[in-house]
Structure 1
């Protein structure tokens, strides 16, 4: 149970401190008999939380600390304003989730990522278009690596985008 309490406490601690200072850190029981550690750096607008166990690591970033890099060499949409990112690795797998805003139309964003995934040897397996939202899902032949991209009209002429990518290796 304690492992579920540590993240909210760590995020709360982000509201203190300067941008690069570690504002909180510690260890806790991972719920499986092992130990895990966490550290929080930054402040409320520019933060990074890192959680490490013997099985891997997760980083949750916001503001300027949010990383624009995605697995498999995918690129960030040009001119995108990153809102948050999360990366993780462990037991031979890596993954990332990135949210951003852009002034571009959702169709252009989806076309950009269709080209990106195809250039990485992935095949678009599904496409969804609900009017305000478009989404693609792509994977490699063995389905060991994949990408999901959703682009939604934000109501102000821009687009809110979430990219989730990951795989083995």
Structure 2
């Protein structure tokens, strides 16, 4: 299920590309504070002003035309990671429309009246949590 969602997100991102701006796939070092996380993501042109989960390791990142997909990992619990993104959505005035978990995968989707979207999926992979962060404006 996680990979199907990732393929869907990548397809949506690539469909939105109109050829004017190349897609970028790049890793980034983990941030240690919220301020550093926000500055790092903002400096990379991340849609909206979402802070990456503190201490997360960015595995890959792709951005094109105001849409960003970030794949990250963390040793923290799924619950802590999801709490972070729920708070981020609320702070940005995004309304959570989906908030679910089937035990193996947890996800939230939030959006605002302007059409901006935040989708987060977290899956447990042994002692690490793998996250897919999709942001669009």
Q: Structure 2 stretches of 5 or more lacking a match?
A: 1-16, 30-39
Indicate the SS of the match to 1:163: strand
Q: Which residue of 2 aligns with 1:166?
A: 136
**1:8-56 alpha-carbon deviations (Å, 9 max, x no partner):** xxxxxxxxxxxxxxxxxxxxxxxxxxxxxxxxxxxxxxxxxxx983x43
- Of the candidates 137, 148, 157, which is equivalent to residue 109 of structure 2? 137
- Give the superposed CA RMSD: 2.1
Task: Identify the structure with the greater strand proportion.
Answer: 1
**1:105-162 alpha-carbon deviations (Å, 9 max, x no partner):** 01110110000011111000011201011100000024x1001000111112x21111
Task: Identify the structure with the greater helix proportion.
Answer: 2
Task: Work out the number of aligned pairs and report it.
Answer: 108
Structure-2-length-normalised TM-score: 0.71
Q: Which residue of 2 aligns with 1:18?
A: none
For the 8 Å contact 1:52–1:58, the answer to whether it is kept is no
User: Moved runs in structure 1, 4+ residues, more than 3 A?
Assistant: none
Query: How many angstroms apart in 2 are the aligned matches of 1:140 and 1:127?
Result: 15
Query: How many angstroms apart in 1 are the aligned matches of 2:84 and 2:47?
Result: 16
Q: Shift of residue 165 of structure 1? A: 0.3
Q: Shift of residue 166 of structure 1? A: 0.8
Q: Which residue of 1 aligns with 2:51?
A: 75
Query: How many angstroms apart in 1 are the aligned matches of 2:95 and 2:18?
Result: 33
Q: Please identify the structure whose Cα radius of gyration is greater.
A: 1
Q: Which residue of 1 aligns with 2:64?
A: 88
Indicate the SS of the match to 1:113: helix
Q: Shift of residue 97 of structure 1? A: 0.3
For the 8 Å contact 1:123–1:138, the answer to whether it is kept is yes
Query: How many angstroms apart in 1 are the aligned matches of 2:49 and 2:116?
Result: 12
Query: How many angstroms apart in 1 are the aligned matches of 2:18 and 2:94?
Result: 30
